[in-house]
Amino acid sequence: MLMDRALGKARAVPTMLSGEEQRLYYWLTAFWAEGAGEIVDLGCFAGGSTARLAEGLDVSGHDVRVHAFDRFTAGEDVKRSILYPQGIAPFEGTDILPLAQDLLAPWGERIRFHRGEIDGMDWGGDPIELLVMDASKAADTMDRMAETFLPHLVPGRSLLVQQDFLHWSQPWVPVQMERLAAFFTPLVHVPRDTLVFLCHRRPTREELCAARTADLSDEVLLSYLEMAHERYADWGLAARLDETILGLRANPGKRRAFQFKRP
């Protein structure tokens, strides 16, 4: 496929993204972005998503950076299941920042690395044109990340990519977007789990605090999931949201993805 070939050297960087998601990331920076702000990648792992974004920027020529946020660690199980099957030689330890830096070296100064717990990090204040959220593995950390980054989006221009919107073990993601429906318009679903939103009004930190999900009861979360189920029924996503609803009902009180067990 032409777009797959266009991914160029990014294809060598391991990723957990589906083929459609990889092409989305490349297309967004190559053909959609206008240089109106920085590109922020929350949860880049070893750099797979960052590489696709950076490769697109090389095509566009815009003088902006991709900011790669992550803890940059990987346990043995993740290394064996994800990195080694994609061509990474076995290595000792859990630190993958040197690996990510090596894999992303072809894009040079275009990449900015930010290492640490993302929900405890700051953003310098520059406008963000494209925000990718792939680190919403717990409700409280997602809430804090939203309060840090969403106030820097550009109304009428910025896109928010919710990578885990349809992941059955992260019900707080669609709930948050329902609570922020006054600020964001859903644009497209990209298989497997991604939804892309346009920011049409920038939320304040106070409004984001009011939209927090971590302290909501299961009953309230379920009520918002039902709203999302109705909103996206015509998108063909009802069955996927049914999985999320069943997942929450089977895991009462859980607010971290790793705690969820399939019903």
Give the chain as a 3 state SS string. Answer: CHHHHHCHHHHHCCCCCCHHHHHHHHHHHHHHCCCCCEEEEECCCCCHHHHHHHHHHHHHCCCCCEEEEECCECCHHHHHHHHHHHCCCCCCCCECHHHHHHHCHHHHHHEEEEECCHHHCCCCCCCEEEEEECCCCEHHHHHHHHHHHHHHECCCCCEEEECCCCCCCCCHHHHHHHHCCCCEEEEEEECCCEEEEEECCCCCHHHHHHCCCCCCCHHHHHHHHHHHHHHCHHHCCHHHHHHHHHHHHHCCCCCEHHHCCCC
- For the chain, 263 residues long, give each residue's pLDDT as a single digit of tens: 545 667 999 999 999 999 999 999 999 999 999 999 999 999 999 999 999 999 999 999 999 999 999 999 999 999 999 999 999 999 999 999 999 999 999 999 999 999 999 999 999 889 999 999 999 999 999 999 999 999 999 999 999 999 999 999 999 999 999 999 999 999 999 999 999 999 999 999 999 999 999 999 999 999 999 999 999 999 999 999 999 999 999 999 999 999 999 98
Between CA 131 and CA 41 the distance in angstroms is 6
Q: Domains in the chain, ordered, with CATH? A: 2-70+96-259 (3.40.50.150)
Between CA 259 and CA 248 the distance in angstroms is 11
Q: Give the C-alpha distances (Å, rounded to integers) separating 71 from 101, 175, 249.
A: 13, 25, 30
Count Cα neighbours of 147 within 13 Å in the Cβ-side half-sphere. 18
